[in-house]
Amino acid sequence: MSVPDYMQCAEDHQTLLVVVQPVGIVSEENFFRIYKRISSVSQISVRDSQRVLSIRYRHHYPPENNEWGDFQTHRKVVGLITITDCFSAKDWPQTFEKFHVQKEIYGSTLYDSRLFVFGLQGEITEQPRTDVAFYPNYEDCEAVEKRIEDFIESLFIVLESKRLDRATDKSGDKIPLLCVPFEKKDFVGLDTDSRHYKKRCQGRMRKHVGDLCLQAGMLQDSLVHYHMSVELLRSVNDFLWLGAALEGLCSASVICHYPGGTGGKTGARRFQGSSLPAEAANRHRPGAQEVLIDPGALTTNGINPDTSAEIGRAKNCLSPEDIIDKYKEAISYYSKYKNAGVIELEACVKAVRVLAIQKRSMDASEFLQNAVYINLRQLSEEEKIQRYSILSELYELIGFHRKSAFFKRVAAMQCVAPSISEPGWRACYKLLLETLPGYSLSLDPKDFSRGTHRGWAAVQMRLLHELVYASRRMGNPALSVRHLSFLLQTMLDFLSDQEKKDVTQSLENYTCKCPGTMELLTLPGGPTLPPVPFTKLPIVRRVKLLNLPASLRPQKMKSLLGQNVSTKSPFIYSPIIAHNRGEERNKKIDFQWVQGDVCEVQLMVYNPMPFELRVENMGLLTSGVDFESLPAALSLPAESGLYPVTLVGVPQTTGMITVNGYHTTVFGVFSDCLLDNLPGVKTSGSTVEVIPALPRLQISTSLPRSAHSLQPSSGDEISTNVSVQLYNGEAQQLVIQLENIGTEPLETLEVTSRLLTTKEKLYGDFLSWNLEETLAQFPLQPGKVATLVINIKVKLDFSCQENLLQDLSDDGISVSGFPLCSPFRQVVRPRVESKPVNAPEGSKPGDPSHMKVSPPCTGTVCSVAWCSRFRPLCLFGGSVECSSEKKERESCWWKAGSSVFLPVACFGKPLQ
């Protein structure tokens, strides 16, 4: 026997092997349709009995394995079912002849056979036949299952007769020596009358009877025969058959302990006919050691009553621990024979399945390790693939996921071995995909965004490289790009600088033929591959939505009455604050964007690659309103620090807009990067209101700009400072041009003046205008210009406190740097310090800092000051007449060089 059955399990020892094969030309679809219906009848209850028969179906079985039917009867083909198409009566003789030829292949072991003919009609189909069933077509064949049940009953009759014949001890008859194929030459010339030879014959026959009892549903009788066989064969050191007897004992005990089977889904068989017998319900529980059998029952079943004493002393059912020990012993006996490699391998597989149910993974791994090193004949490539695949499944069964992945990967590499003329790259790719869970690898990039890496990165990268190569050899470049993108995205932290360069170079070569997209890719087996966005090329650390420039920001229109209604809500303190990153990102921002205006989002990014990173076609991903993203291209230096990048776009409609992320094109791969999938990204919010488009007004004046601003601009105001110098009493016109540079008409214009405070001085109102001519040009259409004329007339009032004139002369009073719409105003507070009455020594006439003050009058002060650059001024304080002496009033005179300046009046009276 050279072909192992890797699907073998312990409960298969109680089954009858039935082969189902096509005869002639039968389509694969029709054959497997009938095969599926036939194989559904896997267990039936025998009539007038509590026994259950189990059937194992195979559509292909090597004839050489049939030669081991005496060694283990479950390997013997006892039933043959053939399926054929026959549409003409003249083809019937030839079809029937083929059926007989097929029977001859397994003729030495067959109990019965059947031929199912489809398509033939006429007189031939009306002839009563037991071995042939005629059906008009593959749809009209309801009686298939019933015929299979009848066929199994016929098999049982033959099986029962053979069991009774072999189990009866006929005195005087020699017991034949059962042999395996390779033993026949070894027993030529042996003394058949020796005690040793007779014990060998008895032990082997007793073991054979145990197999027949197990197949016939007599579980307890098979246990007795196996025990007796073990004692006989052990006494003559017949190790090969002793191993078979021990294995049979283990199989019967496993059936007792685990009625559900050890073969997984395939082990649980469906019963036909009556329900399970009471015997199955009363089977031993795990840990049962011994069950005694009634000697009378043995006599009725054909066993000599003389053996009742040793049956009573036997331990019929092994404990779960003893089952594994006996398996080990049987395998050790098999290992002594080179030609028994298949038997040894299958015994290891059966033991592993039992240990998997017992959850003894380490013991199971020892059996599997032994199975790996069992030397069989020179296996074909297909057989090697099957062997490694089964080893992988068994390691998966006992929980050794990484070892399972290793053998499945070996099977994948075997599919494309150099010795294969037509490598199976599709099968290789499929097997490689199945190894991913064993290496803690998922093809979903979201599983790697949590920050914790699982598994060996070096092995995972090797496996991904193999997937890339296999998909390329399959002729699917899109899969190659997807796997290579996944490798670069998820394994970037584990790649060396040279590996990063190699991977990116390969990716660029692949994307030249097939660009990377964000579409789902359907794999050959049915599952889909999710897209791989390049969130690490570049890495984004901060996303900030920017307010519009000050000149474009929308301003709320204030009430004409000056009422400012507060919209702020009351502050309520709560010590319980739920911090949710998603809520922070999606919260609304307190400024607005305007429809049709360019809006900006700033990203802080850096390049983790050891070379310059070129990002093409980078733009924003938004939702809520129609948004035109203006793509940008950037080039980041190698391993750069945080680098600001501004992405812009134009909202086309109004409403609430949410910035969901950004899109890039890197190395030919298009990526949609969502903010929710970016770990560690800081953002103050991503939702902002877009209001309807507003008019835009550009203002230009006839006055030159001022180099200095009298007041810093606040965040809510736009100021333009112009400069002009005027003497008191002078007047000048300021021409303001209003140009509509937007797309909306300008309907209204409101001009107000505001007094601006500076250095605690008070200036009078000196601006006036007339809006009638300007408003006549409204509504101002886009591109049109309106003119506003503002009259500036300096009219200063010096009825103020003492020493103010000196401050004015210090500043060199002039009208300069005032905002166009904002005249100055400030409340005057009393000055704390006072200037000296007399001029300091060394002062010169015309010094702006020099001032002469007269002695105080009763209740009021009269003072005179002058400046070489201005006219003499007089300040009047109070309204009461001055009661000072004339000489004191004369002190108001002052000489400046050759000029004498006389104040106009003092307290309403001319001076003398």
Residue 907 has pLDDT above 50, yes or no: no
Report residue 239's pLDDT band, with 50, 70 and 90 as the boundaries. very high
The pLDDT tens digits of the residues spanning 142-175 come to: 889 999 999 999 999 999 999 998 877 655 568 8
Q: Give the pLDDT of residue 308.
A: 38
Q: How far is CA 242 from CA 316, 474, 494, 834, 857, in A?
A: 17, 51, 56, 129, 143
Whole-number pLDDT of residue 877? 35
Cα 131 to the center of its chain, rounded Å: 58
Q: For the residues 484-497, what does the mean pLDDT come to?
A: 93
The Cα 41–Cα 621 span in angstroms is: 59
Q: What is the pLDDT of residue 900?
A: 38
Lowest mean pLDDT among 48-52, 313-317, 544-548, 654-658: 313-317
Looking at per-residue pLDDT, the higher value among 886 and 367 belongs to 367
What gap in Å lies between CA 734 and CA 702, rounded to an integer? 6
pLDDT in tens, 811-861: 444 433 333 333 333 333 343 444 444 444 444 444 433 333 333 333 333
Give the confidence band of 574 by pLDDT, cuts at 50, 70, 90.
low
Residue 241 has pLDDT above 80, yes or no: yes
276-293 mean pLDDT: 32
Instruction: Look at 285 and 544; give whichever has higher pLDDT.
Output: 544
Residue 339 CA to residue 329 CA, distance in Å, equals 18
Of the pLDDT bands very low, low, confident and very high (cuts 50, 70, 90), residue 694 is: confident
pLDDT for 286 beyond 70: no
The more confident residue out of 764 and 770 is 770
Do residues 404 and 395 make contact, with C-beta atoms less than 8 angstroms apart?
yes
- Rounded Cα–Cα distance for residues 226 and 252 (Å): 9
Q: Please report the pLDDT score of residue 732 as a whole number.
A: 86
Tell me what the mean pLDDT of segment 201-228 comes to: 94
Q: Look-up: residue for tokens 């007769």?
A: 161
645 pLDDT higher than 60: yes
Which pLDDT score is estimated for 649? 95
Show the tokens assigned to 569: 């809500």
State yes or no: pLDDT of 181 exceeds 50.
yes
pLDDT (average), residues 35-63: 90
Q: What is the mean pLDDT of residues 331-342?
A: 93
Q: What percent of the chain has pLDDT over 90?
A: 47
Per-residue model confidence (pLDDT) at position 121: 85
Confidence of residue 912 (pLDDT cuts 50, 70, 90): very low
- For residue 354, count other CB atoms closer than 10 A to its CB: 25
Average pLDDT over residues 250-270: 76
Of the candidate ranges 59-68, 154-163, 715-724, the one whose mean pLDDT is the lowest: 715-724
Kindly report, residue by residue over 108-124, the tens digit of the pLDDT.
Answer: 899 999 999 998 888 88
Question: How far is the CA of 173 from the CAs of 166, 198, 390, 409, 895, in angstroms?
Answer: 12, 12, 46, 57, 168
Confidence label for 798 from pLDDT (cuts 50, 70 and 90): low
The amino acid at residue 273 is G
Q: Kindly compute the dihedral angle of the four CA atoms of residues 707, 713, 716, 719, in this order, to the nearest 10 degrees.
A: -30
Flag whether pLDDT at 656 surpasses 80: yes
Least confident range from 337-351, 524-538, 871-885: namely 871-885
pLDDT at 444 over 80: yes
> What pLDDT does residue 807 have?
52
Determine the pLDDT at residue 813.
Answer: 42
Work out the percent of the chain whose per-residue pLDDT is above 70. 74
Q: What is the pLDDT of residue 543?
A: 93
Number of Cβ within 10 Å of residue 123's Cβ equals 7
Judged by average pLDDT, the poorest of 175-179, 487-491, 800-804 is 800-804
What is the pTM for the complete model shown? 0.70
Higher pLDDT, 844 or 427: 427
Question: Considering only 101-110, 436-445, 641-650, 830-839, which range has the smallest mean pLDDT?
Answer: 830-839
Contact 857, 791 (CB under 8 A): no
DSSP 58-123: ES---GGGGGGTTTSGGGSEEEEEEEEE---GGGHHHHHHHHHHHHHHTTTT-SEEEEEEES--SH
pLDDT band at 511 (very low <50, low <70, confident <90, very high): very high
Quick one: pLDDT at residue 165?
87
Q: Give, in degrees to the nearest 5, the angle at Cα 41 between 35 and 45.
A: 160
Helix (H, G, I), strand (E, B) or coil at 546: coil
Q: Is the pLDDT of residue 405 over 60?
A: yes
Q: Place 190 in a pLDDT band, splitting at 50, 70 and 90.
A: confident
- Give the C-alpha separation, 724 to 617, whole Å: 51
Residue 335 and residue 673: Cα distance in Å, rounded?
60
Mean pLDDT within 244-264: 91
Q: Which residues contact 715 (CB under 8 A, 6 or more apart)?
A: 550
State the pLDDT at residue 402. 93
More confident position, 511 or 780: 511
Most confident of 36-50, 199-213, 576-590, 727-741: 199-213
The tens digit of pLDDT for each residue in 785-797 reads 888 888 888 776 6
What pLDDT is attached to residue 829? 37
The per-residue pLDDT of the chain, averaged, comes to 78
Select the more confidently predicted residue: 833 or 497. 497
Sorting pLDDT into bands at 50, 70 and 90, what band is 245? Answer: very high
Dihedral sign (CA 389, 395, 398, 403): negative
